[in-house]
Amino acid sequence: MLFQALFVSLLCLLWHGQGLKIPPRDLNSAVEPRDSLEGLVTWDKYSMTIRGERLFIFSGEFHPWRLPSPGLWLDIFQKIKALGFNAVSFYTYWGLVEGTQGKVRFDGVFALDEFFKAAAEAGIYLIARPGPYINAETAFGGYPGWTARIKAPLRGDDPEFVNTTELYASVVGKLIADAQITKGGPVIMLQPENEYDTWPDIINSNFPAQVNGNYMEHVKQQFKNAGIVVPQMVNDHLYQGNWAPGSGLGETEIYGIDAYPLRYDCAHPDVWPKIRWPENWQNLHEQYSPNTPFFVAEFQGGSGTGFGSVNADACNALVNEESVRVLWKNNYGFGIKLFNVYMTYGGTNWGNLGYKGGDTSYDYGAAIKENRHIWREKYSEEKLQANFFKVSPAYLTAVAGNSSNGSYVSTDQIATTPVFGTKSRTNFYIVRHADWTSTDTTKYKLIVPTSAGNLSIPQLGGDLVLSRRDSKVHVTDYDVGGINLVYSTAEIFTWAKDASGKKTLILYGGAAEVHEFAFDLKNSTASAQISPDDTKVKTKKIRSNILVTQWEVSPDRKILKLGDDLEVILLWRNDAYNYWVTELPAAAPIGNYSSPSKSTVIVKGPYLVRTAAIDGEILRLTGDINSTTDIELIYEPTGKVHTLVFNGKALDAEQNKDGKLAARLDFQPPEIAYPDFASLEFGYIDSLPELQSDYDDSAWPVGANPTTNNPQALLTPTSLYASDYGFHSGSLIYRGHFTANGNESILFLNLTGGNGFGYSLWVNDTYISSWDGTGGGSTHNDTISLTSHTFEAGQPYVLTLLMDHMGQDEEAPGTDLIKAPMGIINFDLAGHAQSDVTWKLTGNLGGEAYRDLARGPRNEGALFAERQGYHQPSPPDQEWTIMNPISIDIHGPGVSFLTTKFTLDVPPGYDVPMSFVFKNTTAGANHRVQLFVNGWQFGKYVANLGPQTVFPVPEGILNHNGENTFALTIWSLDKKRFRFDGLTLEAEMPLWSGYRKPWQAPQPAWQEREGAY
């Protein structure tokens, strides 16, 4: 500790000696000794070791704050664990927990304790990524809005900025430190900062590169001072060795990269951009970080959407199961041993937390859908691959060779990358089309060295084939519990060995493919047993001890038995999707965490298997079904199981023709009464009273700041930037007061509101103009004629401008332009100097002193109903007008607020994701709708832009067994009258489920707000 203090003191002196500004560290803070990590998390150039066992760290990205129902976090963890993954990477969002500077609130849905607890229960290790910058398609890249007002550049070393991070870093650092593996928790790694290589740009920066190193070092030390001892990692998306071990000041312990090879053009999902093909990564890793495992800290698991684009299913079509086969297997060719998929569950940009380019959905086309369904082929493909590496320890010390066209195969249309075993004789050969975007069908032979000699495979005739965008992992001399699999062109899903020594191996292939494998039966007299009439399987013994088997893949399962020692199950890939490999719990401290030494069970049939436990002769399973399903026990380690229990229900199980214990799970869809919104009474009020002649805005903030710290210079006498007055999300309203002189013919406006924003303008109570957001730009200039309104000289008038705030940008490489202001940037009223107009403005009530602490700083905007809190449960609607937005026309332009109540009663045992669905609206009227459920803003529907019309709301926000308050703000941007053609609450594939029913997230009811205007 003395050496550490001297070193840090010396480092600080060196920094200040260079004229830099990093403040000195607090050397009296309690820091957990680093030697407490010994034996828990270690690594070498091959792979990571947890508690003395090498693991392939297979991680899925999941952000708890995008699912603000903590009772559902375990559900997501279990679905990620069911993939065969063993870790989750997560960001924390500074801007949500320190919306008011100096008050960090990790409580309610923003608390992390339940997240850590659920991860531990599911057996998921955690990679913590607290930022402070996170990007993540969040508004302002995750920074609090108030940081837009500081003059110092963000992510630099100026104390004005650095000091703002200290409180957040200490609080979140302590929470993460207490959840480390050293203290019995799930956290095994931490990332300080995020993608800190292009902002500020190391090459073309406004700041010298050394300053970046000082800042990076400072962030690292912040978390170490908080007690974090697990290894710190980096994700360098320039692949230049930035912050790699040995790179100098700011270096981390584990070097990672991130990549999105398919980019983000979901509108053209069949187009794969060749220029993004990842190659030679293993050589770059060897150059930059030769003593750490190859780590892809973010790899594309989907893509985002935005207003006016396409929906999330199109992003799933872009980053689909074919991309998982080709791109992921290409990564394995680099010898990757730590792999994080961004996103694996995306969630929702509820409450305006997203950046300017996104819409409400953050489904991301991820393997687990926004509504928590796993009904995507991509999920199943990921499951096949992750489970393969759980039973392939030879890969964990294997090293990558170089890829080349035509090597190890019979045609240069195929590229092969070998991965060579170093501590075993197992080799892995990853094959793909030389043109990785090809959709051709290409025949080839595999030509590889094996323990049985150099072989051209298939040996029993025919060819191997790659169809469309596909890739294969062929193995040679692969150990199956002591039996040598000389080679296999079919891919391995999993294998297991029971207490008696019997092995079960599952192989799979694509439809109609021919595959071949061979076992070395030395010291064994076993021969293959197959159905005598199965012409699609043939076997042949060569060289006296090598048994070669070839089969043509078909939907019918085939079981090959080699004596009593080995059972080989041959599957069509789509059938393999129905198989689940589920770990059995182990003694502490392993518990439910993954371990190479743990036993598993293999089950076929259900929609999902969550957990498994053996109690004597009973196998207890939890999981989900969505239809009547046959369940089959393929393997269990004890040989004693005779009874199956699923979700607590004992099944009538018996041996089937293949000798497997099987039963039928009956599914009955739940009977649920859904609200008929067309017949419900909604309480209605006008939510734009600012247009009334007697409206009093004396309590409104005045846009009187004569200067700004924003890097964008003022074009007006005083700042009209919303952030300068503490308004950072939702809608904005400006009121410009002036005295007419009769020359007011034109108004010029330069507005910035984010992609697809809109505005409406009134003079007093007269509607003048709107912009509907078409074109999607963040900034819009308009020259508006005012000749339709008569101005009487000497009389006071008010311009009322309502505009959307779609969220700040998420990044601004090389500059501080992320602070780009929102609101009125410039204006010109004909016949007037700018100083003739006095502007007032508002956003959410209180701005940074936001009133709804439970739902956070971004949940509300400027509309009257939001400022009053009427969107919350139990508003004072007793005297409001009764109307219905489906059966009664909405009069535009203006803003309507409507609220109603309904109850739900979902039968126990059912998980029923639900979504609010908007149908098309009559007459094409332009309107924007916010959807509130029990006070939580869970949807922004822009009718003329789309694409989103379906808005999932998770249980816990939506009360599935009780009363719900449903509210809408409806902003009509033109004079057309309209009504909703349909607005419904719909179930999305009910499940009989072993999930744990979530509790309700905090839902504070309406209370009169002091100072509300």
pLDDT tens-digit series, residues 919-928: 976 557 799 9
**pLDDT tens digits for 811-863?**
986 678 899 999 999 999 999 999 999 999 999 999 999 999 999 999 999 99
Q: Which of 32, 137, 298, 690 is labelled catalytic?
A: 298
* Mean pLDDT value of segment 227-241: 94
Instruction: Please report the pLDDT score of residue 536 as a whole number.
Output: 81
36 band by pLDDT with thresholds 50, 70 and 90: confident
Judged against a pLDDT cut of 60, whether residue 22 lies above it is answered with no
* Mean pLDDT value of segment 552-571: 94
User: Is residue 629 within 8 Å of residue 605, measured between CB atoms?
Assistant: yes
Instruction: Please report the pLDDT score of residue 15 as a whole number.
Output: 36
**pLDDT tens digits for 885-915?**
888 888 789 999 999 999 999 999 999 999 9
Judged against a pLDDT cut of 70, whether residue 32 lies above it is answered with no
Q: Examine residue 947 and say whether the peptide bond preceding it is cis (omega within 30 degrees of 0).
A: yes
Report how far residue 631's alpha carbon sits from residue 492's, in angstroms, rounded to the nearest whole number.
22
Q: What 3-state DSSP class applies to 804? A: strand
Report how far residue 914's alpha carbon sits from residue 912's, in angstroms, rounded to the nearest whole number.
6
Q: Which amino acid appears at position 378 of this protein?
A: K
Contacts of 26 (CB under 8 A, 6+ apart): 225
**pLDDT tens digits for 963-979?**
999 999 999 999 888 88
Q: Which of 98, 193, 195, 955 is labelled catalytic?
A: 195
DSSP character string of 819-875: G---EEEEEEETTS-GGG-EEEEE-STTTTS-S-TTT-TTS--SSHHHHHTTTSSS-
527 band by pLDDT with thresholds 50, 70 and 90: low
Burial (Cβ within 10 Å: 0-12, 13-18, ≥19) of residue 702: middle
Which domains are delineated in the chain? 31-374 (3.20.20.80), 393-606+628-665 (2.102.20.10), 682-686+863-993 (2.60.120.260), 689-842 (2.60.120.260)
| pTM for this entry | 0.95
573 band by pLDDT with thresholds 50, 70 and 90: very high
Instruction: Please report the pLDDT score of residue 279 as a whole number.
Output: 82
Instruction: Please report the pLDDT score of residue 209 as a whole number.
Output: 57
195 labelled catalytic? yes
Report how far residue 619's alpha carbon sits from residue 599's, in angstroms, rounded to the nearest whole number.
13
506 band by pLDDT with thresholds 50, 70 and 90: very high
Alpha-carbon radius of gyration of the chain: 31
